[in-house]
Amino acid sequence: MRKHIVAGNWKMNKTFSEGIDLINKIINKSEPLQNVQLIIAPPFILTSEAARLAMNKNIDLAGQNCANHDEGAYTGEISARMLKSSGATYVILGHSERRAYYHETDEIINTKIKLCLENSLTPIVCCGEVLEEREANKHFEVVAKQIKGMFQDISSEAFKNIVIAYEPVWAIGTGKTASPEQAQEMHLFIRETIKNIYGSDLSNNVSILYGGSCKPSNAKELFANPDVDGGLIGGASLNADDFIAIANSF
């Protein structure tokens, strides 16, 4: 059985006190949820306090990124080991904003995946095409290339601890969601691509999340697809009611 996951990517939003307020609201409203794993990825400053508040609740903490080095003189960076020590169990890697604004390549993301796995953190690995690629009908080719590059030399044993997020870049923060058919078609393609690398057991077991303007009004029809196992939520995760309503959409 694949895990249902709803993960909130707060991006660069919320001060410390605003973040604590939001975490407490989410914790209070999340109590009845049983069949879905909730994950929140606040900015780093909140990770340890959020992990403390969410202890023994059905909520795990994630980093939004980590360094591509183990430790040392990398001013401003945060390592996988530090994240783990602050209470995170997941890390979002390869988000399109990291790719676009910080020039992250599949090779860099591959290094980060390895460092996370070595530190017992589960990477939520993002892929997805930009609008021009979809319009040129290159979206399958682009996503296949990202997957192959990011999972280079990752063993089958290690791959068991991976979550994938498909996030069409044209749908992120734009209010323009992929249709349920577009999401299902790409999720199935990703599962087939994984099957070709790792075999059917692992491809059947990997959770593939959809991200890009997912909200309470469209989550149900997106999650109803057989290959959509949850969502990576940006904007709507900043509101506790919306985030929990999305998690209740299975």
Where do contacts with ligand PGA occur on this chain (CB under 6 A)? Answer: 9, 167, 172-173, 211-214, 232-236
Work out how close the CB of 70 gets to ligand PGA at its nearest, in angstroms, rounded to a whole number: 27
Query: Cα(190)–Cα(173) distance, rounded to whole angstroms?
Result: 23
Query: Cα(108)–Cα(96) distance, rounded to whole angstroms?
Result: 13
Work out how close the CB of 71 gets to ligand PGA at its nearest, in angstroms, rounded to a whole number: 28
Q: Please, what's the b/e burial string for 22-34 (b: 16 or more CB within 10 A of its CB; e: otherwise)?
A: bbeebbebbeebe
For ligand PGA, the closer CB: 232 or 240 = 232
Q: Is 4 a catalytic residue?
A: no
Q: Is 49 a catalytic residue?
A: no
For ligand PGA, the closer CB: 19 or 235 = 235
Q: Which of 95, 104, 139, 187 is catalytic?
A: 95
Helix, coil or strand: residue 141: helix
For ligand PGA, the closer CB: 83 or 233 = 233
CB atoms within 10 A of CB 77: 14
Work out how close the CB of 90 gets to ligand PGA at its nearest, in angstroms, rounded to a whole number: 13
Helix, coil or strand: residue 86: coil
Beta strand 37-41 with 230-233 is unpaired
DSSP code per residue over 157-184: HHHTT-EEEE--GGGTTTS-PPPHHHHH
Q: Which of 104, 129, 133, 167 is catalytic?
A: 167
Query: Cα(126)–Cα(96) distance, rounded to whole angstroms?
Result: 7
CB-CB contact of 236 with 246 (8 Å): yes
Work out how close the CB of 195 gets to ligand PGA at its nearest, in angstroms, rounded to a whole number: 25
Q: Which residue is nearest to ligand PGA (CB)?
A: 234
What values do phi and psi take at 41, rounded to 5?
-120, 85
Work out how close the CB of 131 gets to ligand PGA at its nearest, in angstroms, rounded to a whole number: 14
138-141-166 Cα angle (round to 5):
95
For ligand PGA, the closer CB: 54 or 92 = 92
Rg (CA), the chain: 17
For ligand PGA, the closer CB: 10 or 198 = 10
Please identify every residue annotated as catalytic. Answer: 95, 167
